[in-house]
Each structure stands twice: as C-alpha cells, then as structure tokens.
Amino acid sequence: GSCRHRCCPGRNNACWAPGARRARCYCDSYCERTGDCCQDYPTSCRRAAVGCAVGPWGPWSGCSSPCGVGSRARSRQVTVPPRHGGDPCPDLKQRRGCLGQHPTCGTAQ
C-alpha cells in the first residue's frame, strides 16, 4: 500500500490504503504504535510532518471574584496547526488562583 498524498495526524481509521493480501495498511501517525503502517509511510508522511506552533500568551484576565478566592485565566492561539503526525499543540489555556480585593469587600450592607 502507498501513503502518497494521504497522511493523517493522530489516530484516523479512515486513513488507510489497500495493502498486501487485501489487508489494510495505515497512513496515520498512530500506525507507528500499532505497527500497521504502509511501507512508504516513513518516506511519505514523516518528511511532511509539521509540528504545532503557538503564539504568545495573552494577558491575564481580572479575578473572577471581586471579593475572596477566585481565578484568572489567559490563553494563546495556534499559529500553525500540526499536520501529518507532527508534534501536537501544547496547552492553549492557563488558569491560576487569585484573591479579589475590591474596595467594597470589607463594608457591610
């Protein structure tokens, strides 16, 4: 079987080619783990692999709670999505704790 023009990232059961003796061989990056890659997978697909690239982190959001314990979040965007079994994207969101200290927090109603 040949993977020419048919390389898929991750596990994709639809990404196959007819192999020897009517058996399927696969052209997804998962085939390396299962050992059922088409013969030309290394030359056709690995060379075309593109790893994920992400942009810089955005600013942290304000605290989700004006008084007391809350959380802040920030995110970043994918600039180049992974292709053909390239490295997957790292985390795109981060969250951390914060303590809201709005001036009205200490006043009673």
pLDDT at 96 exceeding the cut of 50: yes
Q: Are 25 and 45 in contact (CB under 8 A)?
A: no
Instruction: Give the pLDDT of residue 93.
Output: 97
Domain boundaries, the chain: 1-49, 54-81+89-108
The CA–CA distances, whole Å, from 41 to 9, 22, 44, 87 equal: 12, 18, 5, 17
Q: Could you say which of 1.10.260.40, 3.40.50.720, 2.20.100.10, 3.40.50.970 is the CATH number of the domain covering 54-81+89-108?
A: 2.20.100.10
Task: For residue 106, list its beta bridge partners.
Answer: none
pLDDT at 80 exceeding the cut of 70: yes
Q: Enter the pTM of the model.
A: 0.53
pLDDT at 49 exceeding the cut of 60: yes
Query: What does the DSSP assignment read for 35-75?
Result: T-B-TTHIIIIITT-B--EE----PPPPPS-SEEEEEEEEE
Instruction: Give the pLDDT of residue 109.
Output: 47
Higher pLDDT, 20 or 63: 63
Rounded mean pLDDT of 42-61? Answer: 86
